[in-house]
Structure formats: structure tokens, C-alpha cells
A = this chain, B = another copy of it.
Amino acid sequence: MYIKEFSARSGFSSDTLRYYEKIGLIAPPMRDGGGRRVYSKADLTWTEFLGRLKATGMGISEMGRYARLRAEGDQTATERQQLLKAHRKKVRAQIAILNENLAALDKKIDTYSAMIEAGKGERNGS
């Protein structure tokens, strides 16, 4: 598939896909006779995984490191796994922080409910 379809399927813009290729996150795909990029299903699988890493807050440089290890082949499996384990730890921490702050947010919202309730009918100064 050409870049437009790949963009739609992967959720990354065409510009972003070319950018990711330029910085080494995505391996250069095949080209057709006219020099246009032709992406494979495997490219899609990889890009979807990249999307997960991105969605969980991994930065581009770390994704690049993972991509480089991946390109080196099976002997880097352990290292890649460790990278993912470290990342997982960060994601768990991030979820914990969000949950804490969500609880505080809930409380704050409740406080507003009380305020709003108390404020009703102050118009008639009874």
C-alpha cells in the first residue's frame, strides 16, 4: 500500500511517517517503479507497536534505541525485553499517578457540588 493508505491505517500522518523513517524509527520501505514508498503488512505491525510505545509516553530517542536493537536481530532480544520492562515500570507509575490525581479531581468536583448547592437561593437573602 502507498503512504496515504498506510497513514490512514497506522494513524500517523504521511509527514510523520517520512519523518520517522528519516530518523530511523521505521525501516525504509520498498519503492515502486516511480520511487514511491510501498508499505507491507509487516511495516504496519511494527508501526502499530511504535504507536503503543508512543501512547505510553516513550520518547523518540528511546523508540529509536529499540528500533536499532530490533534491526540487529535476535541476539538483542534480552536487551529489548529489558528496555520494555523498564518502560512498563514507568507506565505503571504513570497510571498510579493518574489514579491518585483522578481521586483528587473527584473530591474537588464534589466540593464544587456542595458549593453550588449552598449558593442556590442566596438570591432571596433569607
Contacts and interface: CB of A to CB of B under 8 A. Distances in A.
Contact of A108 (B49, B109, B116): B49
Interface residues of A, number: 32
B108 A98 contact: no
A104 B48 CA distance: 11
B52 A113 contact: no
Given A81-B112, A112-B80, A113-B81, A95 B92 contact: no
A109 B81 contact: yes
21 contacts: A52-B101, A52-B104, A52-B105, A56-B101, A56-B102, A77-B115, A78-B116, A80-B112, A81-B109, A81-B112, A87-B105, A88-B102, A88-B105, A88-B106, A88-B109, A91-B98, A91-B105, A92-B102, A94-B98, A95-B95, A95-B98
